[in-house]
Structure 1
Amino acid sequence: MIFILSGFIVGEITYTINPFIFALLIQVNYLVLRGDYISIVTSILVTNSFTDFLFNFFSMGVIYYLFGSKAGKFEYLVFFTSGIVGNVLTLLLFPPDVASAGASGGIFGILAFYIVDDMLEFSRIDWNGIGLLLIVFVLSDIIPGVNYLAHIGGILGGIILALGRKRLLTQTKPRPYP
């Protein structure tokens, strides 16, 4: 939640002082295609939209209420990896004139990660969790200007990381002798 608040403050300050600096921090596909690769990461942390900030901040609060922060520091990896996957999808599938910013890809990644992680932990399909993810996805993507590809990429990143983490944890546990 601190990343989201800090990103909004940085976005507001840079956009107010010098919109050119703000444009270098967000992902503008045209600029990324010409070598501005760092914005694939910085755009996750920056927004100047109060609505985006409010929804993202509230969403993380709900996620922490539902799941706590049981993944610990691994959650940072989920957040950034999912955000990057969403931004790469945006780069590959949207035209060069598209610009995007905000943490929602990473947030969708965290939500998907926790839902899949719970399903793996309890060895069952959690239809409530899947329903929640679908409802949040649909409701967030009916808002004009929302980057649904970042959300899809975030979800994919969260699912992949949950499956990968489960696989790593089961391989590193000592096996009892028969």
Structure 2
Amino acid sequence: MIFILIGFLIGIITYTYSPYLFSLLIQINYLVLRGNYTALVTSIFVTNSFTDFIFNFFSMGVIYYLFGSKAGKYEYLVFVISGVVGNILTLAFFSPFVASAGASGGIFGILSFYIADDMLEFNRIDRNGIILLIIVFVLSDIIPNVNYVAHIGGILAGVLLAITRRRLLSIFRENRNI
């Protein structure tokens, strides 16, 4: 949640005092295609939209309330990888003249990671978790100018990272018992 607040403050400051720097921090597909690859990561953390900030900040609070931070530091990796996957899909499916910024792809990655991880841990389908994910996805994507492709990318990455984590934990446990 602190990173979301800091990213919003950086977004407001750079947008106000250095729009050129702001344009390098957010993902503008044309600039990424011309070599500004760092924007695939920086745009996850930076936004100048108060609405985006409030929704992302609140969403992380709800996720922490529901799941705690049981993945520990791995959660940061989930956030960044999910955000980057969402940004790569944005690059692939939107025009070069599209700009995108904000943490929601990473947040959807964390939410889907925890839902999938719980299902894998308890070896059951969690209908409530799936319904929650669908409701959050639909509600967030009815807001104008929301990057639903980044949300889908975050969801896919979060699920894949949960599967990967569970598989690695299983391998580790098996090797430990040898």
TM-score range, shorter chain: over 0.9
Deviations 1:85-114 (A, max 9, x none): 000000000000000000000000000000
Secondary structure of the 2:61 match is helix
Deviations 1:88-142 (A, max 9, x none): 0000000000000000000000000000000001000000000000000000000
Distance 1:122 1:42 in 2: 35
Distance 1:164 1:24 in 2: 33
Aligned residues between the structures: 177
Deviations 1:137-174 (A, max 9, x none): 00000000000000000000100000000000001104
Distance 2:174 2:43 in 1: 41
Identity of aligned residues (%): 73
Q: Specify the alignment match of 1:40 in structure 2.
A: 40
- Structure 2 residues without counterparts, runs of 5 or longer: none
- TM-score, normalized by length of structure 1? 0.98
Distance 2:42 2:154 in 1: 16
Q: CA deviation at 1:36?
A: 0.4
Q: Counterparts in 2 of 1:47-126, with a 5 A limit? A: 47-126=47-126
Amino acid at match of 2:53: F
Q: Specify the alignment match of 1:25 in structure 2.
A: 25
Distance 1:142 1:59 in 2: 16
Distance 1:28 1:167 in 2: 36
Distance 2:60 2:104 in 1: 10
Computed over aligned residues only, the root mean square deviation of the Cα atoms, in angstroms, reads 0.9
Q: Specify the alignment match of 1:158 in structure 2.
A: 158
Distance 2:39 2:120 in 1: 34
Q: Specify the alignment match of 1:130 in structure 2.
A: 130
**Which runs of 4 or more aligned residues in structure 1 lie more than 6 Å from their structure 2 counterparts after TM superposition?**
none
- Structure 1 residues without counterparts, runs of 5 or longer: none
Q: CA deviation at 1:20?
A: 1.0
